[in-house]
Structures are given as C-alpha cells and as structure tokens.
C-alpha cells in the first residue's frame, strides 16, 4: 500500500509548491508554456482531462516514459496510451487507419474514446509494452488540448493514479506518492469524474471494446452500422 508514505502536511506543501491554478475553459498561455517546458525537458506534468487527472510526459522520450511507469508503480507489461493534437498526427504513430476507425474518430473525438492501432516500429517499446499496439486519443478538455498543441508532439495520457487504485477527479484525492514525484501540477478544479474514455481496439478488421467508458457499446455499434 502507498497511501501512508506521506502525511497530509507534506502533501499539502508539495501541492502548493508545484501547483498552478488554471482556468479550465480558458487556460493561461503562460502556465501552458511552463508545462510544455517541463514536458520537453523530460519532466512529468499532472494535468486535467475530461473525467480524471492524468500524467503527461513526452511520448518520444524513453526516460520520461519510464518515469511515468515508476511514478504509477505500473507494470512495464501494461502499455500506455498517448494524446495527439489532431488526426493528422496519427500517421506518424500507427501503421493503418481503417474506415471503421475513421468513423469512430469522426463521431466521438475529441475525448470520450481511445483507439488502439498497430504501432509503427519507431514507437517506443515501453509505450506498446511489446504488444505492437498503441492507444491514441485527441483530448477533449481545453487544458489538455492546449498542452498537446503547444508540445507539438504526442504526450502520455494515462491517469494520475497508482496502478490498481481508482483515478482521481480532484487534486486532493490524488495519491501523495504521485504528488511527490511529478514536477508540475495543473489544477483545474474538480473534474466530472466517471470511468474515463472507452477503449476500442481497431487494429483488426472488427473493432473490439477493451474497456467500457463514456461511449456505450450501443452508441459505438450504431455508428459502425451506419458507416
């Protein structure tokens, strides 16, 4: 268990020192640029997504990606998803985008759904965990969107939790271990919460739901049937 490693006073001090209060609808360009500088320097930023807080690192930096795994106490056999600014960025990450995948992207992005593709060989093996596949999403939250646009490259989009524990929609609910090991915190206040994005494998001919989330199987099936 990790919950007892820091007391509340230590955690509150760490939050105060690392936090930047950011408007969720109109994020400050100055704060975004600070976060981008941290990411490009190999650091890890705690940031808001639509439902839960996440951990952002440069997805092309092996050491930064390794830090994400270590911060989360996550198995290196468990792949990480990434965030991109638009659909044009996907071509530099995946081998093929099927018509079914395109229909799903056009219907539900930004946010709500993560698509798993066959990854290009150049993608870090740590991201794919040896599966040869990569999960990709365009973020829907304005802060996350500005962050990935200004970074101008894929960033990690994993939730800010110790593996095996629930994600958090409030900074105050994030594990003290996470707080102590990230470099910067973008505090956008309480998020909507919930189960996060639906994860769909589109690497084969027939899409397959790997994790239920914001988009129900019924909605997904409706889109695919009307393609």
Q: Is residue 1 part of a domain?
A: no
Number of domains the chain contains:
1
Sheet holding 19-21, edge to edge: 19-21, 184-187, 45-48, 53-56, 158-159
Q: Is the pLDDT of residue 17 over 80?
A: yes
Question: What is the CATH classification number for the domain harbouring 189?
Answer: 3.90.870.10
Q: Is residue 110 part of a domain?
A: yes
Q: Is the pLDDT of residue 55 over 50?
A: yes
Q: Is the pLDDT of residue 84 over 60?
A: yes
pTM: predicted TM-score of the whole model, two decimal places: 0.90
pLDDT tens by residue, 175-224: 999 999 999 999 999 998 887 789 999 999 889 999 888 888 898 888 88
> At residue 47, what are phi and psi to the nearest 5 degrees?
-145, 160
Q: Is residue 105 part of a domain?
A: yes
Q: Is residue 3 part of a domain?
A: no
Q: Which domain holds residue 17?
A: 8-225
């Amino acid at each position: 268990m990790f919950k007892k490693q820091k007391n509340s006073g230590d955690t509150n001090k760490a939050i105060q020192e690392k936090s930047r209060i950011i408007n969720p609808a109109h994020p400050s360009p100055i704060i975004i640029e600070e976060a981008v500088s941290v990411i490009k320097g190999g650091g890890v930023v705690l940031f808001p997504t639509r439902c839960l807080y996440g951990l952002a690192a440069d997805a092309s930096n092996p050491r930064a990606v390794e830090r994400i795994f270590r911060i989360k106490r996550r198995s290196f056999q468990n792949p990480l998803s990434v965030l991109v600014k638009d659909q044009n960025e996907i071509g530099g990450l995946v081998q093929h985008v099927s018509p079914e995948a395109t229909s799903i992207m056009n219907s539900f992005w930004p946010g709500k759904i993560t698509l798993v593709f066959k990854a290009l060989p150049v993608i870090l093996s740590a991201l794919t965990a040896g599966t040869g596949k990569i999960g990709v999403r365009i973020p829907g939250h304005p802060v996350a969107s500005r962050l990935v646009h200004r970074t101008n490259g894929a960033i990690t989009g994993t939730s800010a939790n110790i593996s095996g524990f629930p994600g958090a929609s409030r900074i105050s609910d994030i594990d003290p271990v996470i707080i102590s090991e990230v470099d910067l915190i973008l505090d956008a206040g309480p998020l909507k919460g919930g189960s996060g994005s639906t994860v769909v494998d589109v690497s084969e001919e027939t899409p397959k739901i790997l994790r239920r989330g914001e988009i129900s199987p019924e909605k997904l099936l409706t889109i695919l049937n009307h393609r």
